[in-house]
């Protein structure tokens, strides 16, 4: 029993599932437990005496790891998003916690780090994320999940597809997903922004032209309809085209043949059309801005992507998706956003939808060096506060009071009808409800409507 008590610390260290190692002031490993051997795949005898960075080859070894911070500042540090490279040169995701190593007299003799293998957690997270992913789109909202279920069948159908939705919701991502799920996936996917080009340029881009068709046409140029042979053409912002151009486009879609500018003979081509718009084409037909026959040609299958404000439950998952992507591209290891930053993002209306959220995260990513993106890393405009002037920042209380005044004015004007007040303010009613809750406003119920 006495012998057991003398070796109890060693027995505990050898029994726990977390890896534990210690270093001296020269960063040489002086202790390496059994779990450290198992996680790294490096035998204890081989690790002892080596520099810790030669054993772990972590991404944090290249910058400022938890152990270095601890040794420098004399206090514990935790790294909750990092990896090591094992003996088989595979990345192992880990969390690490570092503390000072002291002897019986309290003298600092080195550092100790405990690290935990998160491989299983990461595998489960990826498996869960896969359920909510389609191509580069990520969502767990019921409306988007129904769309994800339908995309493979839409892809198989080869039918012309119209994708509707506000700017920034991910219409091109949906189009790419359809293409990549179809039999055309090994052939070109060619996006065309119809709103960015005048009719003459748009025609020459799509149909191509022959040498001498116009000034500066010094050689033949194949159009996108030819370049995308056996592939998919994505006509983004088709609602921005003129009725005159729509006539030529309709003929090409109906006959699957077209005449390049300046050509005599028609050219046949096999392609699939996916179109997208942020405008209401039904209303444009009524006003004469869009041809009804073209609408019915491209609207065989319709998809409507809801704006981000109507699927706020997707925001945490989208943030993780963007942070993971930026970590991979920039070689960083940020862990996401903190609670206050997430709360701020969850209260935002996102008029720019997913594109706006991605830009906000990229802004925060650029300013945050390690750990999690916080409020101080987010764009100042996100809080609704006016920009700084004369070196003085506006008071948070004044900003809050201004926001309360705007809401209360709209509520009184609309007799406390939340939906009507939201319309008056130009925001979605769910956004107004979140703002009321965040500001702690106690509002009377709307009076019953008469008649």
Q: List, in order of start, the domains of the chain with CATH numbers.
A: 10-122 (3.30.450.20), 137-304 (3.40.50.300), 308-381 (1.10.8.60), 400-439 (1.10.10)
pLDDT tens-place values along the chain, 451 residues long: 455 555 788 888 888 999 999 999 999 999 999 999 999 999 999 999 999 988 988 766 766 688 888 988 999 988 766 778 888 888 888 888 999 999 888 899 999 999 998 888 777 766 655 677 888 899 988 999 999 999 999 999 999 999 999 999 999 999 999 999 999 999 999 999 998 888 878 888 888 887 876 767 768 888 888 888 899 999 999 999 999 899 989 998 998 888 887 777 888 888 999 999 999 999 999 999 999 999 999 999 999 999 999 999 999 999 999 998 998 888 888 889 998 999 999 989 899 999 999 999 999 999 998 888 999 999 988 865 444 433 433 344 555 676 787 788 888 888 888 888 877 776 777 778 878 877 888 777 666 554 4
Residues 6 or more apart in contact with residue 324 via CB below 8 angstroms: none
Put the strands of the sheet holding 108-117 in their side by side order. Answer: 29-32, 19-23, 108-117, 91-102, 77-85
What backbone torsions phi and psi does residue 138 show, to the nearest 5 degrees? Answer: -130, 125
300 within 8 A of 159, measured Cβ to Cβ? yes
Q: Which pLDDT score is estimated for 393? A: 38
Q: Which of 327, 320, 316 is nearest to 369 (CA)?
A: 327
As given in the structure block, the two tokens for residue 101 are 């190593």
Query: CA distances (Å), 364 to each of 319, 321, 341, 375, in order?
Result: 11, 14, 10, 9
Long-range contacts: 427-434, Cβ < 8 Å, 24+?
427/349, 428/307, 428/309, 428/310, 428/349, 430/309, 430/310, 430/312, 431/309, 431/347, 431/349, 432/407, 434/346, 434/347
Beta bridge partners of 138: 133
Q: Quote the Cα angle for 16-19-22, to 5°.
A: 115
pTM above 0.75, yes or no: no
Q: Which pLDDT score is estimated for 426? A: 67
Q: Which pLDDT score is estimated for 396? A: 47
Q: Which of 197, 214, 204, 289 is nearest to 246 (CA)?
A: 289
As given in the structure block, the two tokens for residue 88 are 């088989």
Q: Which pLDDT score is estimated for 328? A: 87
As given in the structure block, the two tokens for residue 12 are 């505990």
Q: Which pLDDT score is estimated for 5? A: 53
Residues 6 or more apart in contact with residue 40 via CB below 8 angstroms: 19, 47, 55, 56, 84, 86, 87, 92
Q: End-to-end CA distance of the chain, in Å?
A: 88
Our CA dihedral for 339, 341, 343, 349, rounded to 10 degrees, sits at -160
């Amino acid at each position: 029993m006495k012998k057991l008590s003398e070796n109890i610390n060693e027995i505990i260290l050898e029994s726990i599932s977390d890896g534990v190692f210690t270093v001296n002031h020269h960063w040489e490993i002086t202790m390496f437990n059994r779990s450290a051997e198992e996680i790294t795949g490096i035998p204890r005898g081989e690790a002892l005496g080596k520099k810790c960075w030669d054993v772990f080859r972590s991404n944090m070894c290249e910058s400022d790891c938890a152990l270095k911070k601890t040794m420098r500042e004399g206090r514990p540090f935790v790294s909750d998003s990092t990896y090591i490279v094992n003996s088989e040169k595979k990345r192992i995701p880990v969390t690490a916690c570092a503390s000072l190593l002291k002897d019986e007299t309290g003298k600092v003799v080195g550092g100790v780090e405990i690290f935990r293998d998160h491989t299983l957690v990461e595998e489960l997270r990826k498996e869960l994320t896969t359920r909510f992913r389609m191509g580069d789109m990520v969502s767990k909202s019921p409306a988007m999940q129904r769309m994800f279920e339908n995309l493979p069948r839409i892809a198989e159908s080869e039918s012309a597809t119209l994708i509707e939705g506000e700017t920034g919701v991910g219409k091109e991502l949906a189009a790419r997903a359809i293409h990549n799920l179809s039999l055309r996936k090994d052939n070109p996917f060619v996006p065309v922004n119809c709103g960015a080009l005048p009719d003459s340029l748009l025609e020459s881009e799509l149909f191509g032209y022959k040498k001498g068709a116009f000034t500066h046409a010094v050689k033949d140029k194949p159009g996108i309809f030819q370049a995308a042979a056996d592939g998919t053409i994505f006509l983004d912002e088709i609602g921005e085209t003129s009725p005159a151009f729509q006539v030529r486009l309709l003929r090409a879609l109906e006959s699957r043949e077209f005449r390049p500018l300046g050509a005599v003979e028609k050219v046949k081509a096999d392609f699939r059309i996916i179109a997208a718009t942020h405008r209401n084409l039904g209303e444009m037909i009524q006003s004469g801005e869009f041809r009804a026959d073209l609408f019915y040609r491209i609207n065989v299958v319709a998809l409507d992507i809801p704006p981000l404000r109507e699927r706020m439950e997707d925001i945490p998952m989208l943030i993780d998706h963007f942070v993971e992507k930026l970590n991979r591209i920039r070689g960083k290891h940020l862990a996401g956003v903190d609670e206050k930053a997430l709360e701020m993002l969850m209260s935002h209306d996102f008029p720019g939808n997913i594109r706006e959220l991605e830009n906000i995260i990229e802004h925060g990513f650029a300013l945050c060096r390690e750990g999690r993106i916080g409020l101080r890393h987010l764009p100042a405009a996100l809080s609704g506060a006016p920009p700084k002037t004369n070196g003085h920042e506006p008071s948070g209380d004044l900003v809050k009071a201004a926001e309360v005044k705007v809401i209360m004015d709209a509520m009184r004007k609309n007799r406390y009808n939340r939906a009507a007040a939201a319309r008056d303010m130009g925001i979605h009613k769910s956004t107004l409800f979140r703002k009321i809750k965040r500001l702690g406003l106690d509002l009377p119920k709307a009076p019953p409507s008469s008649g």
